[in-house]
Structure 1
Amino acid sequence: MRKRYHSWASAWLQTILCFGLAEGSTADAQVVLASGKGGDRRPQGALAVTRDIERRVVQAGGNTVGVLVASLSWTSADDLDLHMLLPGGQEISYRHKTAEGGELDVDMCVQGKHGGNCADRPVENIVFQDDPPAGRYKIFVQNFNYHLNTLPENMQVARMQEGRKASKEEMQLRLSQDRPVLFDLLLKVHGSKKLFEGLCTPAGKTHGSSDVIVLEFDYDPTKDEDERFIPHFEAVAAQECLRYSEKLALAGSEARALPGSPREKSVQPRTSDGKVKKTGGGGAKAHRSGKRAGRHANIEMATSWPVKDTCQGREDAKHAALQADPLEGKGCMEKAELVDKLQQAHTRALFALLTSVVVALPHLKLQPALATRCHAAMAPKKKPAQVKAKAKKVVTKAAVKRKPAASKASKARKVVAPTKPIRIGFLIGKDTDLVEDPKYVGDASFMADMPDKYRVDPESKEYLKNCEAGVKGFAHADVAIPWYIHKKYGGDVTVDMIFPEEITLKRLKSNMCNYIIGYDVINSIFEGPKRYKEVTKAFTECGNLMPSWEVQDFIYIKSRYMQACMDAGIPMAPTIFAKKSKRSPAKLLAEIKARGWQTFVMKQSMMAFSLGFCKLKVEDCEKDPSILKNYFRDYAECPEYVVQEAIDGFTRNWETRVFWFNGKFLYAIANKAAVSTEDGQEVIITGDDIPSEFLENAKRIGEQALKILPQLCTPSGQPVDMTLIRTDVGCSDSPLHDKHTNWDPNGRTFFLNEIEYGGTTYFIRHLKEDWVPKWAELYVNKSNEVFDKMCEAAA
C-alpha cells in the first residue's frame, strides 16, 4: 500500500494544526488541536507534488497513463469536483463521467468523510487513453459542497492564557464554511506536465458560484508536437489563496492562532446544551486527574534521561526547571517540537540500555554474522582466542561510545540462538491483492475473527482503523497469510503483523526474522525523504529481514540484476541505463539513435505503480527536445532511468509471471494488458489455461534468473534457500531495430522483463486452488529452518 505512514510521535506532531472553527463553536479563540490519527505533510517542490498527485490517483484506482490527463488534488473532505468542457460541447464531470473517449475515473468526497470514499488528500482524475478530439478545452473546479465534520471528533483543545498554566478540554470542532478550499491541478499532455499550485475556490461559495477556471487550451493532434497544445488562459494563485495557505502553514508549523482569528481571545468550551464550561481558573479539572497523571509520568520518564536538548527552544532556566520538576513541564509538552526531541532522546537512551546489557552479559556465546553474500559464515572459523579477543574489542568500543557494537547488516553482528515459540514478523501494507473476494476458491472462514483493523476500505484504500465507524473493508493476502499462521500454527510460532507506521528498529529486532509481504522501502519513498531515511535505516540495521537487505537492494536498482542477467546470457529487451550522475537529455537521445531504436520506453528504479513510465518516439523527441528535457526535470531525483527499446509484441502476447519459493516453482499467472484486449480490460489466466509454450519458457528463463541473485542467509549468517521471488517474462513476435540484438522477427522470443520479491502481488483470488494454507506452510517451514540453523551455529 503506497501511502504515507508515520510513527506515533510524528503523527502527533504533524497534527498540531490550527483551523477556523464553525460558527457557534468558539470561533475567535487560540487553540492547539492534537489527534492521534496522523497527518499529511505537504511535499516540497513541484516534482514532489506531481509525484504525490500521481501516486494518489493510482491508489484511488485512476489511470495516469494517457494522452491527456487532468488530476485534481485538495486537502480537506469538502466535495470539490473536476469539470472538463470538450470541443463538441459535451462535459466530463460527476454528472457525465464519460464522453468523446474521455473518462472521470476517480470521484471523491461526495459525502465527505462519512461517505467512505474520501481520503485525507482526495483526488479526482479525467483521462483520455487515446487521442482526444481536436478543439478548445476548458477545465474548471467547483466546490459542490462543504462538509463540516472534516476533523476527528475527539480533539484536545489547549487553552493558553498569559500568566496561567495551559489546560486542555475534549471538544468536537468543525471547519468553518466561510473559507476557501485550496487545491492543485496537474495537467499531462503527451507526457509533458504542467502543475497549477496554490489555487482555491472562493470563500463560502458552493455550486456554480464557486467555479474556478484553471485553464483553456486548444488541442490539435494533426499538428507538430510543439503546436498541438496551445494555452489561451492559465490561472494563477489569487492573493486570497496565498494568504489562506500562508496562515495554514504558519498555524500548523508554529502553533499560532487560527487563520482569521485574534490571538487575544480565549477558548470558551461549551457543554452539550450550549452553556459555557467553567475551567477552574485555567488549570485542568480534578476529574481529568488520570490523564494528567499519565502525562506527568511520561514527562518524568523523558526528563530522567541524560539528554540536554529535551526541551530545545526554551530558555535554559525553563529547561532546568523542567528537569528539576517534571510537573512544570506540562506547558512544554504542548509544544510541537518537543515530540521529536523526546523521540530522539528515547532512541539514544534505548541504545545506551542495550549496550549496557551487552557489557553485563559477557558470558553469552556470540557468533559473527555474514558479510554481503555470507562470506563470513562460509569462511574458515577463527581460533577461540582470536574470536574472544575480537569480541572483547567490540564490546569495549561500544561501552565507550554508547552505541551498539555494529549497526549495518553488511557488517559482523553478534547474535544469540533464538528461543521457542519462534516469533516472526510480517510487514503488511497491501491494498490490491484481495483474498476476501467472491473469486477466492478457498474457505475464508478462518478470517471471521480477524480484527477489522487489518481490513482495507476498497474506496479510500485505508485500513479500517483509520476510517469512520461502519465502513466495510476486506482482507488482502498480506494479512490473510499471517492470520492463517496465527490460527493454525499458533502453538509453534508467534505472529507479529506490523503496520507500516509501526516499523522501527526495535520492533524488527524483537522478532527472529521479518518477512516483507506488503510494505517495503519503495512505499516509504512516497512518504518523503525523512520517512525513506527512517525505513532504510531500520531495514539496513535490523539484520533479520527476509529477504535480506542485500537481496532487496539488488532488485531495487534494476541495473544490478538486469546487467547480471545480460552477463549470464539471459534474454532481455535492449536496454540503456541512465544513472543520475551521468545523464542528460541530449546524451540519452544520441545513445538511443546510435542503437537504431525508433520507439522506446522510460522506466525508473526505486519506483512503483508505473509512475515515471512513458512510451516515446525518437522522431518526436528530435522535433521537440523539451519532451526529454521535461522528463529529466520532472524526475531529476530518480537514481536511475531504465530505457528500453519498445517491444511491439509485448502487449499482444501473454506476460507470464512465475512464483518461486526455495528456488522451486509454485505457480504462474499470465496477463494481457488492457490496451490489447477487445473490451479494454486486463485479462488474467492461471493454471492449465496458460499456453504451455508461454509457461515452459517463463519457467526456463525464471530459473536462470534465480541464479544471479545474492545468497540469502539467516540473521546469524548461515545460507538458506531464497524466499518468494517472482520473475515476469514477456514475449516478442516482431522485428527489433537495436543493432546489437538479433531476435527472430518471424518467431516468438521470450525475455525477462522484471524480478520482484516478497512484497509483490500474489494473485491468490485468481488461482484455481486455495494457496493461503500453502503460503502459510511455506513461511512456517522457512522460519523453522532459520531457527534450526541459528541454533546449530550458536551451539
Structure 2
Amino acid sequence: MKVGFIVGKDDEIYSDDNLYDITPKKYLQYEELNTDVAIAMTIKQSYPDINVDIILPKDISLQRLKKNDVNFILGYDCINQIVGEPYVKKFTGKTGYNKLRSIYSNKSAKVFPPIEFLDFIWSKDKYLEKFYKKKIPITPTITVSTFNTSKIISSVQKKNWQQFIIKPVGGTVAIGFERFKLSECLKNPLLIQEYFNNNKKDYSKFLIQELITGFRKHGEIKMFWINGEYSYAVNTVDRGEDNYKVKIVKDKKILEECKKFGQNTINALPKIKVGGKVIKPALVRTDFTCCLNNSMHLPQYYFLNEVEHQDAGSYVNNENIKYPYVQVMADTFVKKAHELINAGF
C-alpha cells in the first residue's frame, strides 16, 4: 500500500531527536521537524508494510497523487493557498487556486477527505447556516457578497450591534479580520468601504458578526475528534502577539458542554461515502468560544465558532499539552488508509 502525505506546516515544531535525525533534510522547515512530517515519518518507521510518500507543496501534481492508493492533506490545502502559507510559485493567485483545487477535486487524485467534504469545511457561511438549522449554537451572522455600505450599516443597526467584526470566508488565523464600531461607521461609512476595497480582490464572501467581548478574555476551546470520537481539547487565549496562551481545559462543566455541542456538530457534518460505506473523517477540530450574545460566562453560553479538518493545528508543540498526537494520528491514518482501500476508494 502506498500512502501520500501532503505536508507544508512550518509553525508546529515536533521535538523528537531520533525522528529528526532520520528525516531527510528537504522535509524540514527552517531546519525544524513539524508535526505533519513527523506523522509521515512515524508511519514510515513503525509500519514497514506502508510505502510512505511525503509530498511537499511544490511537488503536488495530479500525476504524483495518482501513483498513491490514498493521499491525506496535512499541511497544504486551498486555504493555505489563499493566504500564501507557504508560498508556492505554481499555485499563486486565482489561477494557482484553480489549479490546486482542480487537482484535489479529481477523483483519481484519491485525496481524503474528498473535495465535497473539504468544500463544506472551507465555506464557513455554508456550515454556519447548516448548523443553525440543526440548532447548534452559533453567533448571529450576516453574509455578504456585494458591498453596499449603507445596506450593511442598516443591517447592523437592526441587530443593535454597537461593535462588530468583518472577516472573509476562506480566511485563516486573523487574516482579513477587522473590528468596527457602529458609531464610527455612521459618521464615516468609508471605513467599511475601505475594508472591502482592501480585501475583495482576495475574497468574494464576508461574514459580519457582533463583536464577542468574551473571546479575548476567555479564548477558544479547541476540541479534537479523531475518527468521530472526542480525543482532547485545549484552551487558547489570544490577547495580542505577546500574550498568547495555550492551556488545558480545567473547567469540567465547560468541557462537557462543549463536548455535547461538538458531538452534535460532528453528527451534522456531511457524510463521506465510499463504496456505499460511511467513512468517518480522520480528524475534525471544533472551536467554541463564549459568550453568546455577550451573556455571562457560563457553560451554556459557549457557541461554535469554527470547524477545521485534519490539517488543523494540534497545539501539541506547547509544553502544557501532553496528548500523544503524532503517534495517535500515525495509527489513525494507517487504519483509515486500510479502511478506504477495503471500501474501494
Q: Is residue 2:267 matched to residue 1:713?
A: no
Residue type at the aligned position of 1:596? N
> Mind listing any 5+ residue stretches in structure 2 that lack a counterpart?
85-91
Question: Is the 2:314–2:325 Cα contact (8 Å) retained in structure 1?
Answer: no
Cα displacement (A) at 1:710: 1.1
Instruction: In structure 2, give the amino acid aligned to 1:432.
Output: D
1:545 to 2:111 alignment: yes
Q: Which has the higher contact order (CA 8 A, sep 6+)?
A: 2
Tell me the equivalent position of 2:23: 450
Deviation at 1:719, TM superposition (A): 2.2
* Match status 1:665 vs 2:230: yes
Alignment partner of 1:627 is 2:191: yes
Paired residue secondary structure (2:154): helix
Q: Give the CA deviation at 1:633.
A: 1.1
2: CA distance between counterparts of 1:583 and 1:593? 16
Match of 1:641 among 185, 194, 206: 206
- Which residue of 101, 107, 113 maps to 1:536? 101
Partners of 1:653 and 1:672 within 8 A in 2: yes
**One-letter code of the match for 1:455?**
L
* Equivalence for 1:506: 63
Q: Distance in 2 between matches of 1:553 and 1:649?
A: 29
Change in Cα spacing, 1:455 to 1:614, as seen in structure 2 (3 Å) is same
Q: CA-to-partner distance for each residue in 1:67-102, whole Å, 9 max, x for gaps? A: xxxxxxxxxxxxxxxxxxxxxxxxxxxxxxxxxxxx
Measured after TM superposition, the shift of residue 529 of structure 1 is 1.5
Residues in 1 aligned to 2:165 and 2:153: alpha-carbon distance in whole angstroms = 12
C-alpha deviation, 1:745, in angstroms: 4.5
Query: Once structures 1 and 2 are overlaid, which stretch shifts more, 478-487 or 705-714?
Result: 705-714
Matched, 1:516 2:80: no
Secondary structure, aligned partner of 1:650: helix
Q: For residues 724 and 641 of structure 1, what CA distance do their matches in structure 2 show?
A: 26
Equivalence for 1:755? 307
**Does the CA contact (< 8 Å) of 1:585 and 1:632 recur in 2?**
no
Question: Which residue in the other structure is 2:14 paired with?
Answer: 435
| Structure number with bigger Rg | 1
Paired position in structure 2 for 1:485 = 43
2:87: which partner in 1?
none
Say whether 1:731 aligns with 2:290: yes
Change (3 A) 1:503 1:631: same
Question: C-alpha distance in 2, partners of 1:530/1:612?
Answer: 21
Are the equivalent residues in 2 in contact too, given 1:557–1:640 (CA < 8 A)? no
Alignment-mate amino acid for residue 474 of structure 1: E
Paired residue type of 2:186: E
Q: Give the residue type in structure 1 aligned to 2:317.
A: R
- Give the distance between the partners of 1:523 and 1:601, measured in 2 at CA: 22
Matched, 1:564 2:137: no
Equivalent pair of 2:289/2:304 in contact (CA under 8 Å):
yes
What's the TM-score once normalised by structure 1's chain length? 0.40
Q: CA deviation at 1:454?
A: 0.8
Specify the alignment match of 2:89 in structure 1: none
Alignment-derived partner of residue 345 in structure 1: none
Alpha-carbon contact 1:561-1:708 (below 8 Å) kept: no
Q: Equivalent residue for 2:4?
A: 425
SS in structure 1 opposite 2:218? Answer: coil
CA deviations over 1:534-589 (Å, ceiling 9, x no partner): 101101113521111001101111111100110111111121111x2x44211111
**How far apart are the structure 2 equivalents of 1:486 and 1:691?**
38
Relative to structure 1, the CA distance from residue 614 to residue 513 in structure 2 (aligned partners, 3 Å threshold; closer, same or farther) is same
Q: Displacement of 1:680 after TM fit?
A: 4.5
For 1:428 and 1:598, the matched residues in 2 are separated by 42
Rounded to whole Å, the distance in 2 between the matches of 1:517 and 1:669 is 20
**Cα 1:566–1:722, aligned 2, differ >3 Å: closer, same or farther?**
same
Aligned residue runs from structure 1 range 132-171, under 5 A: none
Q: Are residues 1:684 and 2:263 paired?
A: no
Q: Give the % identical residues.
A: 29
| In structure 1, C-alpha distance between the alignment counterparts of 2:2 and 2:127, rounded to whole Å | 32
Any conservation in 2 of the 1:654–1:694 contact (CA below 8 Å)?
no
CA gap of 1:621–1:750, structure 2 versus 1, over 3 A, is: same
Tell me, in whole angstroms, the C-alpha distance in 1 between the residues paired with 2:147 and 2:112: 34
Return the match for 1:576 from 142, 146, 154.
Answer: 142
Any idea what the Cα deviations from partners look like across 1:221-243, whole Å, max 9, x if unmatched?
xxxxxxxxxxxxxxxxxxxxxxx
Residue 554 in 1 paired to residue 120 in 2? yes
In structure 1, distance between residues paired with 2:205 and 2:245: 31
Is the 8 Å Cα contact of residues 601 and 613 (structure 1) preserved in structure 2? yes
Shift of 1:769: 4.0
**2: distance between equivalents of 1:747 and 1:697?**
10
Please give the alpha-carbon distance, in whole angstroms, between the structure 2 residues aligned to 1:745 and 1:483. 46
Aligned-partner residue type, residue 724 of structure 1: L
Aligned ranges 1:57-68 → 2 under 5 Å: none
SS at match of 2:22: coil
SS for the counterpart of 1:611 is: coil
Does the aligned pair in 2 maintain the 1:575–1:643 contact within 8 Å?
yes
Structure 1 residue 447: deviation in Å? 3.0
2:32 is aligned to: 474
Q: What's 2:154 paired with?
A: 590
Q: Give how far 1:771 is off.
A: 2.5
In the TM superposition, residue 446 of structure 1 has moved relative to its aligned partner by 2.8
Task: Work out whether residues 423 and 493 of structure 1, in 8 Å CA contact, stay in contact via their aligned partners in 2.
Answer: yes
Q: CA deviation at 1:609?
A: 3.2
Q: Does the 8 Å contact 1:584/1:632 carry over to 2?
A: no
CA contact under 8 A between 2:232 and 2:323: conserved in structure 1? no
CA–CA distance in structure 2, aligned partners of residues 509 and 718 of structure 1: 22
Separation (CA, whole Å) in 2 of partners of 1:629 and 1:771: 43
Give the drift of 1:770.
2.8
User: C-alpha offsets along residues 159-186 of structure 1, whole Å, 9 cap, x if unaligned?
Assistant: xxxxxxxxxxxxxxxxxxxxxxxxxxxx
Structure 1 residue matching 2:96: 3-state secondary structure: helix
How far 1:747 moved relative to its partner?
4.3
CA offset digits 1:239-275 (Å, max 9, x no partner): xxxxxxxxxxxxxxxxxxxxxxxxxxxxxxxxxxxxx
CA contact (8 A) 2:131 2:265 kept: yes
Report the residue type matching 1:708 in the other structure: A
Q: What is the SS of the residue equivalent to 1:784?
A: helix
- CA distance 1:620–1:508, shift in 2 (3 Å): same
Cα deviation, 1:337-366, whole Å, max 9, x if unaligned, reads: xxxxxxxxxxxxxxxxxxxxxxxxxxxxxx
Deviations 1:738-781 (A, max 9, x none): xxxxxx54745110010011111112223224332111111111
State whether structure 2 residue 335 is matched by structure 1 residue 786: no
Q: Deviations over 1:454-473 (max 9, x none)?
A: 1111xxxxxxxxxxxxxxx1
For 1:723, give the aligned amino acid: A
Equivalent residues, number: 332
Alignment partner, residue 331 of structure 2: 777
Shift of 1:499: 0.6
**8 Å CA contact 1:672, 1:682 repeated in 2:** yes
CA distance in 1, matches of 2:45, 2:330: 10
Give yes or no for contact 1:647–1:732 (8 Å, CA) kept in 2.
Answer: yes
Change (3 A) 1:729 1:425: same
Q: What residue in structure 2 maps to residue 410 of structure 1?
A: none
Does the aligned pair in 1 maintain the 2:279–2:340 contact within 8 Å?
Answer: yes
**Aligned-partner Cα distance in 2 for 1:717–1:508:** 23
8 Å contact kept, 1:601–1:645: yes
- Taking structure 2 as the reference length, the TM-score comes to 0.91
